[in-house]
Structure 1
Amino acid sequence: MEHDFWQTRWKNDQLGFHLSFVHPILKRNVSRFGLAGDARIFLPLCGKTLDIGWLLESGYRVVGAELSEIAVGQLFEALKLVPDISSWEGGQYWQSGRLAIFQGDIFRLKSDDLGPVDLVYDRAALVALPSSMRGAYAAQILALSHAAPQLLITFEYDPAEKAGPPFPVLPEEVAGHYAGSHAIAELSRKDVLESSLNFKEAGVTRFVEVAWQLMPRHR
């Protein structure tokens, strides 16, 4: 999507993608990855997700990438953290304690900037991008994280019934992006249409949320 699309969504507080609770898929599955207590978890296109606060409370270090300065400001405000703000090539770097956010264009981020990653948690990044951008995004995530393990959430629905975002990403596409570097296992699959009002009201008949565990073949 064009940067202006997401900047406008944040400016106008059009945040249907922002959950008012910690994602149960994260709480249920993060232990599967066998992380150390102070592992560093990367959240691409993180917004101001409440998942970050939960991860910090669980003892993890968190690094995110987010385009919107509004989102990052609201995140730190909600967490009652006062950030040190500096610049990086693609925007601003916000840091306080065990939380760091690269605010700006994720495609300008480099692995040396990002630092070590023990887990990528992609709650709403891959599905936020149209098909024309998803290949480049997946390649960027692999490069940034050195093919770290990943907890990925995707959606499946009929795009003829409603236009994204979030966009449908089918299993064969997940495999196309990541099977060369990771062993892929489906963790859960659930129709969440009843709690996805925008999709239900648009007449979508099936809106399935799928969780994936991606474990690197070689690292």
Structure 2
Amino acid sequence: MEQDFWHRRWAKNEIGFHEPKPNDLLVNYFDQLPLKTDSRIFLPLCGKTLDIDWLLAQDHQVVGIELNQSAVEQLFKRLNLIPDKTVINKHLTCYQAPNICIYQGDIFKLTAQDLGVVDAVYDRAALVALPEALRQQYSRHLLHLCPHTPQLLIVFNYEQSQMAGPPFSVSEQAIRHYYKSYNSITKLTVRELPDGLRGVKAEELAWLLLAE
């Protein structure tokens, strides 16, 4: 999607993708990732998700990236943290406080050097936010940023012709194509959304991606 699309959504507070509590699939399946306490978890296109609060409460470190400045500022305000703000370049600004670092800007401008080493990726909002052409680009970029990194991926499955995304429907075939460099791609669970997505019957799925 064009960046202006997301800025307009945040400006109008049209953020139905922002869940009022930590995602159930994160809470139920995060322990499937092979992690130790105080691991560093990367959340692409993180918004101001309450999933961050949950991860911090589990004694992990969080690093994320979010396009919209207001979302980042709202996140730190909710966490009652005053971040140090560092301009990395014309594309990225880093907001940092103890155990949390959020880059504000275009994810495609984030480099592996900027990100540093992470122990896992938790993607609930990124892959499903992007149309097909950008999903291909995003998945390649993510593998460049953090190769061989275990990932908990949450996506939606529905009849795409019945609704224009985002969120977009992401099939099993697509996931296995995007992330074929992983040795193990496991479907952890599928749950039907009681109210669907904007009236369209839909499922939410959790996937575990392991490099070895």
TM interval, shorter chain, is over 0.9
What's 2:198 paired with? 199
What's 2:25 paired with? 25
Contact 2:157 2:204 in 1 (8 A): yes
Q: Distance in 2 between matches of 1:102 and 1:94?
A: 6
**What SS does structure 2 have at the residue aligned with 1:155?**
strand
TM-score, structure 2 length as denominator? 0.97
What's 1:123 paired with? 124
**What SS does structure 2 have at the residue aligned with 1:86?**
strand
Q: Deviations over 1:113-172 (max 9, x none)?
A: 101110100011100000010011001111111230000011111112111100000000
Deviation at 1:178, TM superposition (A): 0.4
What's 2:59 paired with? 59
Deviation at 1:182, TM superposition (A): 3.8
Deviation at 1:34, TM superposition (A): 2.6
Task: Supply the AA of the counterpart residue of 2:203.
Answer: V
Task: Supply the AA of the counterpart residue of 2:163.
Answer: K
Deviation at 1:181, TM superposition (A): 2.8
What's 2:209 paired with? 214
Task: Supply the AA of the counterpart residue of 1:207.
Answer: A
Q: Distance in 2 between matches of 1:25 and 1:115?
A: 26
Q: Deviations over 1:91-132 (max 9, x none)?
A: 210000000001000000001110111010001110000001
Task: Supply the AA of the counterpart residue of 2:77.
Answer: E
Q: Distance in 2 between matches of 1:86 and 1:182?
A: 37
What's 2:72 paired with? 72
Deviation at 1:6, TM superposition (A): 0.3
What's 2:101 paired with? 100
Task: Supply the AA of the counterpart residue of 1:153.
Answer: I
Say yes or no: does 1:143 pair with 2:138: no
**What SS does structure 2 have at the residue aligned with 1:62?**
strand
Unaligned runs of 5+ in 2: none
Task: Supply the AA of the counterpart residue of 1:199.
Answer: R
Could you list the structure 1 runs, at least 4 aligned residues long, displaced by more than 3 angstroms after superposition.
Answer: none
What's 2:39 paired with? 39
Q: Distance in 1 between matches of 2:71 and 2:152?
A: 22
Deviates more, 1:177-186 or 1:36-45: 177-186
Q: Distance in 1 between matches of 2:122 and 2:104?
A: 17
**What SS does structure 1 have at the residue aligned with 2:28?**
helix
Contact 2:181 2:211 in 1 (8 A): no
Unaligned runs of 5+ in 1: none
Contact 1:87 1:93 in 2 (8 A): yes
Deviation at 1:180, TM superposition (A): 2.2
Q: Distance in 2 between matches of 1:182 and 1:148?
A: 11
Q: Distance in 1 between matches of 2:160 and 2:32?
A: 32
Deviates more, 1:24-33 or 1:58-67: 24-33
What's 2:85 paired with? 85
Cα RMSD for the two superposed structures: 1.0
Q: Distance in 1 between matches of 2:194 and 2:159?
A: 12
Contact 1:193 1:199 in 2 (8 A): no
Task: Supply the AA of the counterpart residue of 2:121.
Answer: V
Q: Distance in 2 between matches of 1:147 and 1:125?
A: 18
Contact 1:47 1:71 in 2 (8 A): yes
Deviation at 1:33, TM superposition (A): 1.3
